[in-house]
Structure 1
Amino acid sequence: MAFRGGPPPAGAIYLDGQQPSLPDPLITAAENALVKVTRDRQFPIGIEGATVPGRRGYGTKGTAITLRSNYFTITTAFEGKTPEFEQTWYRYDVDMVPEPSKQKRRRVIVELLTHQKFCGIQWASDFVKLIVTTKPVDLGKGKEWVEKMSVPQESSGPSAAAGGQQTAPQGPPPAFVQQAQARNQVAVRITHTGVFNVRQLIEYLRSTLAGAEYAVSGDVIQLANIILCKPPNSNAFITNAGHNKYYPYEGHPGAEINDLGAGLEAIRGYYASVRPAVGRLLLNLNVTSGAFYKPMALPLLVREFGGRNKEQDETFLCRLKVRAVYKKDKDATPFMMKMKTIVGFAKENRTVTPQVLVMRFGDADQVKFQYTDASTPNAQPREISVNHYFRQHHGITLRQPKLPVLNVGARSDPQYLPQELCEVPPGQAYNRLLNSNQTTKMLSFAARYPNLNAVSIAGSVQNRGSAQKIFGLAAPGNAPTGNAQLNSVQPWGFRVGVDMISVPGRILANPKVNYATKQISPRFGSWNLAETKFTKPGKFTSWKFLVINRQGRNSLAQPEQISTQLGSALKQYGIQMGRQAPPSTILVNALNFDNRAANDGTLEQAFKQADEEGVRLLFCVLPEHDRWLYARLKYYGDVQFGIHTIGSIGSKLEKPGKGQLMYMGNLALKFNIKGGGVNHTVAGTFGKLGSNTMLMGIDVTHPSPGSKEGAPSIAAVVASIDEHLTQWPGSIRTQKGKEEMVAGLEAMVIERLNMWQKKNANRLPNNIIIYRDGVSEGQYDLVLRMEMPSFYAAFEKRYGNKKNWPKVAVIIVGKRHHTRFYPTRSQDADARSWNPLPGTIVDRHVTGRILREFFLQAHQGLQGTARPAHYVVIKDDVGFEADELEQFTHNMCYLFNRATKAVSICPPAYYADLLCERGRCYLHSTLQEDNGSAGSATGNGEDWSGGVHPRLEESTFYI
């Protein structure tokens, strides 16, 4: 397969004229045979008795097309030859006592694999828990081997950090030294836990018997992933950042790096995962991009980051690993290097005896600690500064002693280290939110034409792709040896094909969109709002224009003129705006931590005044994008005062000509929704379901790496209230952090049922279709076992007898997968982006044996490589046929209420995600501003635990 390596010319054939292979007819036949025995049957999932419905069929609607997909066929290495060429896999679990950190555990396993027991044995490891080999390891008697091992150090030499008690050696080692030595040792136990064979898994996947089982298929897939990831996982110039994601960084010949500014860089990486499908085992390869700290001297990194204060610098550096390089004043060569993790800057701290005060953010002269000179017999503890300690004890004169010193110990037991001794090693992922400029640069780096990503994955016959090389799947010297090429996995008894597979797809027809004044036929998944009126106009009793200026920057040059123009534009769409209160202008100080309290008071006063004026929507014009400012506006509007808010950057409102009209049209969508209106409808969306059907979306968002310890997760449930599917009120709560299943779901379901009943003449819905977002494959059974009982409890309270309960369908919505599709003909592709056309759907050849699933790209992928949404049915009382559910889901993607285009995932899941994000605004400091050793961050409203102001509970306030 030979993709071009750059933007395609108009009308180009995507394979350079090469005829793509047709989808494998044997796979199609196997799928058809399986449907006959899976239809109308339930199959077990997980280990606790949950069941899922089997596939009822495959879709047929739409224009048939052939696509390439970023999957590669896995076969046994010597298929058709005698059994002695097979490889058996032996799995071993590794346990350690006491349990070390992840980094120490890896070093122990690396050391362990050099033991003579592993000599001459092919091995692979995840360096966390598992080792897999092609020959049995001699564990002695029984199936266990216990060995006491020292944890290897990242570098040699004494402690790199100043601080802590030190005592001169006299007689036996002091107790704390003995404890340190003990802490550096672990008891390692290796246990043999199974024997596996990849051929048996492939034979199971080829079976067309409904009852065919291979109980250890998950184990084999897990081991295959470990084997495939061994080359990058063992490479010193490749870092693992995320599940099966590997990034070659500075020093690797395949590294692709782009400057993001403010101390960060983008690195192109690669993802690999073994996936079971009907009739075969597949390898999914994809391109990914991530943000990383720049490798440089730490003071230069802090300077480039350019934080507005030390709190921001501390947040940026928290948990960053640095290499401390110790070099005496007159020496060119370091005498010691140590890897340390930054906890934060110095914080106020008093040692027990005597009391030594440490200044918050203190420099090397200001931060002091107790020190006992080990070279002086019977020395007494004395107070010493960090600067003096390094000069006296290490012979290092600090050149930048006024920089805040680092704490590289623990918050309760600090160890202090000057910044100037520290270097930032490459390959360290940055897991917090990027600023707006960095986000733009990241998108520019990551969003590549599909054919460019395809080249990175599969390359050409002459030169295999970077992903294949990273995972050791390209033949030595890139020799074009076809599917029989020698690669890193062949000694394990299997091989990976070199060509992307071909899959059958279809392009569904766009539905028609209805407004009050006309019906529109979308083109390429989008349409124009011009000369239309909304289906049902929203209504406000009073609204107000609030201009927020910042010191040194005004949001608008002519606020009165813009206010009038916006009011006129809104009325043209039919929105009943009611009385417009006199515009207000407020001035806030610079948007930094130091000014938070004063700025917060200014914002609260503006909302208080609007509330006293009877304002029900506040249009806020902002001087710039600032996450804290946006979060506070939403908190005051949604939670404290019950006033709808819409925000806009002033420069966008002042766009000249048609740009301003288009922007105000987009704002009108939000105004109409918040006013209870209906923007547009799609006829025939419900099909056989009927209009007495409620749609629900459920999502949970978790604390990010920038969150405070103990930060909660946020769960949201949204639901439609009528057949128009425009208004989606929701319930929102906090729950224990990092728990995916929704707590308190019964109460939230009852709230949604009560709202439906209130809006539908006291009726309850006959059908409930649930789109559940944010659930991984391993959690499907948890949704059935832990969340569905909450629905049943709610039904019992609201419907009574079970025979009256509604029919329920549950569809999981996946966004974070790595399946991509590439057109094979120009007429099946978007001419501007080379992506598949909107409405492209695939439910064959890359889906599983039993689960009913499909991939739908409903939207127009204008930037980068389009990612289809992945839908998996785990419950279906309704009895959807394949075409019915696929068309139903596709139609809904045209009903997203704040856009005039089809969106990438269906609105119920999209709205639940938006509501979760709104909850993050209410806990902005808790979830986004962990300041290391600073303790709590500045910000109010952090006691919020759920719900919004009663005036907004029945509205779609979060759009």
Structure 2
Amino acid sequence: MSQLQLTDFVKRPGQGKSGREIQVRTNFFEITQLPNITIHHYDLTVTPDVPPPVNRRIFEALMNHYRDTDLEGAQPVFDGRKSLFSPKKFSFDSRVLDCRNDDNTNFHVSYNKVILPGDVNNKRSPIPVFKVKIKKAAVINLEELHRFLQGKCAMTNNCLTAIMSLDVLIRHKPAMAHVTIGRAFYTSAARQALSGPLEAWRGYYQSVRPACDKMMINIDTTATAFFQSGPLIEIVVKILGLRTPEDLRRTVPPVNWLRVEKAIKGLCIQVSHRQRAKKTLKIFGMTKTAARDTLFKLNVDPKDGSAPSQQREIDIVNYFKETYNITLSYPSLPCVTVGKTAILPLEVCTVIEGQRYMKKLDERQTADMIKFTSQPPAARANNIKDGVKLLNYEDNEFIKDFGMKISNEMATIRARILQAPTISYHGSSREANFVPRNGSWNLRDKKVAMGAVLGSWGVIVFGSEREAPESQIRNFIRELGISFVETGMNVANKSPPFMYANPQGNIESSLKNAWIQAGNAVKSQPQLLVCILFNTGTPLYAEIKRVTDTILGVSSQCIQVKHTREPKKQYCANVCLKVNVKLGGMNSYLAQGMIPFCTTKPSILIGGDVSHPQPGDTTRPSIAALVGSMDSKASRYAATIRVQTARTETIADLGDMMIDLLRTFYQTCGEKPTRILFYRDGVSEGQFAEVLKNEIAAIRAACQRLDINYKPDLTFVVVQKRHHTRFFPLKPSEGNQLGNCHPGTVIDTHIVHPFEFDFYLQSHAGLIGTSRPAHYYVLLDDNKFAPDELQELTYKLCHLYARCTRSVSIVPAAYYAHLVAARARFHARGDHFSDTVSSNSAGGAGEASSYASVKPDLMKVMWFM
């Protein structure tokens, strides 16, 4: 069978053989027995539309009533949205069932009607009626899946549906019992408070994956942030960073109720002032007035029944006293609005458990989350085993009914540890050529391979002289200049001018003044502005980068003021690595013969990525970035950027961006690249076909726009970081001090695709937690790489990341593209980084006009470092 028939991508050309072979455990669990039945696929539609948790309750009610009659005693499974899979055929092709809500605890079932729990507090409210329609969708024969796993047929829709059915099967029971988000379920058993009103919950991710001649289940620990449950008033206190609810009464400084409203809007609550079953309500906002000043009209029925009913005005405080005999403790606080008209005091509301926090965590919360999730390999492996025990596949009645069996032991697979490359620095270094150990090295007695010339530079301190005395700053700059020279840069002016500036003032004006001052000092164009900052906040940093990148066209280096107090050699050397490449220098390269792909023919390495706005942000566009290597050493890169419609993953202007880089390569090297190796970051498996179709066509078209006969060989590799595959050394001697696999660990057997060209490479030595390998997937390969060639080239390139002396987790071209896309987000005009920016206005490509272009001279060097 030809490759074209089997796959649209690249068929695996074999398995790699280079490196030292070892055995590792991985968090994949083999499906030892696939169902040998015909699986029946049904579409289940609930009207009106409700969220998946409610859908699951409706489904459960249906099963309780119909399982032994219409459903033939089957144990069907449901994805919470539309798909239902059954090991037995139902006795009908389609049926419409009405689900009527009656009470909160018991199901009352009659033919064609299932009564669901709900609200009985208000007897006057209509009881919701759900219409449930079950319709036959397909019949799944697993024989085709078996043939796919053996490499005898392509991935078909039938195979995809079969895999989906197994995915739903293993997730069904946990989803019915726990909070479920995507492919993971979370339990409150393992939780940790984060700063503010949040807490982190540990959960378990599980996914069915095709592998070589078998199906596997990938199980991993995961975590996400939830709102803490409990009295709403206490949540408000935590949002504001106060100590007790009494602090909410203060007027100096006044409480920021707009901040509170933004934080709690959308939260689901229950009320404590009603004795009957509690109703779930959603917060829509807050009143502008205090409870004692919030008035509404109340219907008053006449006692004698003769006169028509009247209305009287009453405030919230008196209403709760009259109606519920509750004296509010905080009458001066505003209330929350629920529904269209209902108003409730904060103190009678309780936040329900299990509500996910969807916004971006702040710095402290992120640090707390990292501590919670960073587990050494042994601890992570044990937690995964705990998850397997919790899942208890052996006693899962649904899995049994489908006839599937799953191993409880992690798979043990073959891996190889590749040899690290020889790295070269300047010939005058004490050890100019060396092979790093354990993925790291240092700059002691080394000089950068090609030092840049720094003639004109300036320093600007965004703070007062009282906070950072002039003597402290001058001492730091002197030490920094010495480090520049010691690491191989040529510094003409070791005493650059410096000035203080107001961090709340006009940043653009301050930077322009520093730029003019630096230029006047030596009568030449400034090359660098060193900016000393007193905080790690984004707004000031973003404005500095916007002005220096897009208005002044000068490289900038931001430094936290704490590093100026006692300058450390190691820190100054690390700053030198960044500054040298920003000015056009080269820090290191791989010794001769290490990367023949780049040296035997003119070749360019391309990295591509698309950065999307954070979830919930509808005002900002997506940003596409490309970087390209500019020499045969693959150490220096140029970049190009485009702004495009939000949430679009395909790079829209890829053709023009490729032309930018190919022209720059020609201007730099004097020849066209005959080979292109493109590393594409940020693409999920579901987008492979779209990327193959659109982006590869755009690259080819761009080459022919330059020259109709220009057809370089193209290899297109997707780099994936967001996955749950982990590796654990089988023997302690085969891991590093933290228990992780050694850098250079590569896997291309057992858990990879049955026949397409992909591999896992752990190229770095993780500093904390369990290292995550990168997953490389080859979609096109005109260059006909052998597995060893591509794996070794990729690993060696990971030692050339310019701003550190470590091998990194993904190939630098993809890493740089990610950095460029992130930096370009700072180039928007106006304040796009404060907490008050609206996220409700329409956005997209129209926002592109607010993004300024990087100055052309900077685009030829690594300004983004």
What SS does the aligned partner of 1:428 have?
coil
- 2:23 is aligned to 66
- 1:828 is aligned to 734
Report the CA distance shift for 1:570/1:380 in structure 2 as closer, same or farther (over 3 A). farther
Shift of 1:783: 0.4
Alignment of 1:127-206 (within 5 A): 127-139=80-92, 143-149=93-99, 155-157=118-120, 184-185=128-129, 187-198=131-142, 200=143, 203-205=146-148
1:853 to 758, 766, 770: 758
What SS does the aligned partner of 2:463 have?
strand
> Is residue 335–residue 345 contact of structure 2 (8 Å, CA) maintained in 1?
yes
User: Cα deviations across residues 372-426 of structure 1 (Å, max 9, x unaligned)?
Assistant: 63757867888766556655666654322333443445xxx67644332322222
What SS does the aligned partner of 1:229 have?
helix
Shift of 1:736: 2.1
Report the CA distance shift for 1:385/1:566 in structure 2 as closer, same or farther (over 3 A). farther
Is it true that 1:491 corresponds to 2:401 in the alignment?
Answer: yes
1:915 to 820, 829, 834: 820
Is it true that 1:93 corresponds to 2:43 in the alignment?
Answer: yes
Give me the whole-angstrom Cα distance separating, in 1, the residues matched to 2:216 and 2:484: 53
Is it true that 1:618 corresponds to 2:529 in the alignment?
Answer: yes
2:456 to 537, 542, 548: 542
Is it true that 1:75 corresponds to 2:32 in the alignment?
Answer: yes
Alignment of 1:367-406 (within 5 A): 371=297, 373=299, 396-406=326-336
- 1:19 is aligned to none
User: Cα deviations across residues 27-62 of structure 1 (Å, max 9, x unaligned)?
Assistant: xxxxxxxxxx77xx33565xxxxx212111111110
Give me the whole-angstrom Cα distance separating, in 1, the residues matched to 2:668 and 2:653: 24
What is the letter of the counterpart of residue 128 of structure 1? Answer: R
User: Cα deviations across residues 740-790 of structure 1 (Å, max 9, x unaligned)?
Assistant: 1122222222222222222222x3211111111111111110101122222
> Is residue 807–residue 877 contact of structure 1 (8 Å, CA) maintained in 2?
yes
Unaligned runs of 5+ in 2: 102-114, 242-254, 520-525
> Is residue 201–residue 220 contact of structure 1 (8 Å, CA) maintained in 2?
no
Unaligned runs of 5+ in 1: 1-36, 46-50, 79-85, 160-168, 250-254, 328-332, 347-358, 458-464, 476-485, 589-598
> Is residue 148–residue 187 contact of structure 1 (8 Å, CA) maintained in 2?
yes
Alignment of 1:313-712 (within 5 A): 313-319=260-266, 321-327=267-273, 334-335=275-276, 337-345=278-286, 359=288, 362-365=289-292, 371=297, 373=299, 396-409=326-339, 416-457=343-384, 465-473=385-393, 489-516=399-426, 517=429, 518-549=432-463, 558-579=472-493, 581-588=496-503, 599=504, 601-613=505-517, 614=519, 615-655=526-566, 660-683=568-591, 684-689=593-598, 690-705=600-615, 707-712=616-621
Alignment of 1:295-310 (within 5 A): 295-306=229-240, 309-310=256-257
1:865 to 770, 790, 810: 770
Give me the whole-angstrom Cα distance separating, in 2, the residues matched to 1:861 and 1:130: 40
Is it true that 1:230 corresponds to 2:140 in the alignment?
Answer: no
Give me the whole-angstrom Cα distance separating, in 1, the residues matched to 2:299 and 2:228: 37
What SS does the aligned partner of 2:280 have?
strand
Report the CA distance shift for 1:503/1:644 in structure 2 as closer, same or farther (over 3 A). same
> Is residue 40–residue 85 contact of structure 2 (8 Å, CA) maintained in 1?
yes
> Is residue 515–residue 529 contact of structure 2 (8 Å, CA) maintained in 1?
no
What SS does the aligned partner of 1:620 have?
strand
What is the letter of the counterpart of residue 432 of structure 1? Answer: K
Report the CA distance shift for 1:185/1:87 in structure 2 as closer, same or farther (over 3 A). same
Give me the whole-angstrom Cα distance separating, in 2, the residues matched to 1:393 and 1:135: 55
Shift of 1:834: 0.8
Give me the whole-angstrom Cα distance separating, in 2, the residues matched to 1:919 and 1:149: 52
What SS does the aligned partner of 2:587 have?
coil
- 2:246 is aligned to none
Shift of 1:234: 0.9
What is the letter of the counterpart of residue 15 of structure 2? Answer: Y
> Is residue 269–residue 281 contact of structure 2 (8 Å, CA) maintained in 1?
yes
What SS does the aligned partner of 1:399 have?
coil
What SS does the aligned partner of 1:558 have?
helix
What is the letter of the counterpart of residue 630 of structure 1? Answer: Y
Give me the whole-angstrom Cα distance separating, in 2, the residues matched to 1:648 and 1:385: 55
- 1:480 is aligned to none
Give me the whole-angstrom Cα distance separating, in 2, the residues matched to 1:437 and 1:54: 46
Shift of 1:735: 2.1
Report the CA distance shift for 1:805/1:942 in structure 2 as closer, same or farther (over 3 A). closer
Give me the whole-angstrom Cα distance separating, in 2, the residues matched to 1:342 and 1:926: 27
> Is residue 670–residue 898 contact of structure 1 (8 Å, CA) maintained in 2?
yes
Give me the whole-angstrom Cα distance separating, in 2, the residues matched to 1:917 and 1:933: 19
> Is residue 325–residue 334 contact of structure 1 (8 Å, CA) maintained in 2?
no
Report the CA distance shift for 1:208/1:955 in structure 2 as closer, same or farther (over 3 A). closer
Report the CA distance shift for 1:691/1:933 in structure 2 as closer, same or farther (over 3 A). closer
What is the letter of the counterpart of residue 809 of structure 1? Answer: T
1:750 to 659, 666, 682: 659
What is the letter of the counterpart of residue 123 of structure 1? Answer: P
User: Cα deviations across residues 419-462 of structure 1 (Å, max 9, x unaligned)?
Assistant: 323222222222333333333332222111211111222xxxxx
Alignment of 1:254-273 (within 5 A): 255-273=189-207
Is it true that 1:944 corresponds to 2:859 in the alignment?
Answer: no
Give me the whole-angstrom Cα distance separating, in 1, the residues matched to 2:344 and 2:827: 36
- 1:25 is aligned to none
What SS does the aligned partner of 1:68 have?
strand
What SS does the aligned partner of 1:227 have?
helix
Give me the whole-angstrom Cα distance separating, in 1, the residues matched to 2:342 and 2:662: 56
Shift of 1:710: 4.3
What is the letter of the counterpart of residue 33 of structure 2? Answer: T
Give me the whole-angstrom Cα distance separating, in 1, the residues matched to 2:158 and 2:360: 39
- 1:796 is aligned to 704
Report the CA distance shift for 1:637/1:408 in structure 2 as closer, same or farther (over 3 A). farther
Shift of 1:548: 2.0
What SS does the aligned partner of 2:535 have?
coil
- 1:26 is aligned to none
- 1:805 is aligned to 711
Shift of 1:512: 1.0
Give me the whole-angstrom Cα distance separating, in 1, the residues matched to 2:343 and 2:695: 48
- 2:250 is aligned to none
Alignment of 1:895-934 (within 5 A): 895-922=800-827, 929=835
> Is residue 198–residue 228 contact of structure 2 (8 Å, CA) maintained in 1?
yes
User: Cα deviations across residues 711-760 of structure 1 (Å, max 9, x unaligned)?
Assistant: 32222122122223233222223322222112222222222222222222
Report the CA distance shift for 1:669/1:137 in structure 2 as closer, same or farther (over 3 A). same
Report the CA distance shift for 1:551/1:566 in structure 2 as closer, same or farther (over 3 A). closer
What SS does the aligned partner of 2:393 have?
coil
What SS does the aligned partner of 2:278 have?
strand
Is it true that 1:240 corresponds to 2:180 in the alignment?
Answer: yes
Give me the whole-angstrom Cα distance separating, in 2, the residues matched to 1:936 and 1:364: 35
Shift of 1:954: 2.2
Is it true that 1:819 corresponds to 2:730 in the alignment?
Answer: no
User: Cα deviations across residues 510-539 of structure 1 (Å, max 9, x unaligned)?
Assistant: 101111131122110111111111111123
What is the letter of the counterpart of residue 130 of structure 1? Answer: S
> Is residue 77–residue 169 contact of structure 2 (8 Å, CA) maintained in 1?
yes
> Is residue 154–residue 339 contact of structure 1 (8 Å, CA) maintained in 2?
no
What SS does the aligned partner of 1:709 have?
coil
> Is residue 893–residue 903 contact of structure 1 (8 Å, CA) maintained in 2?
yes
What SS does the aligned partner of 1:532 have?
coil
- 2:252 is aligned to none
Report the CA distance shift for 1:371/1:525 in structure 2 as closer, same or farther (over 3 A). same
The TM-score normalised by the length of structure 2 is: 0.87
Report the CA distance shift for 1:212/1:823 in structure 2 as closer, same or farther (over 3 A). same
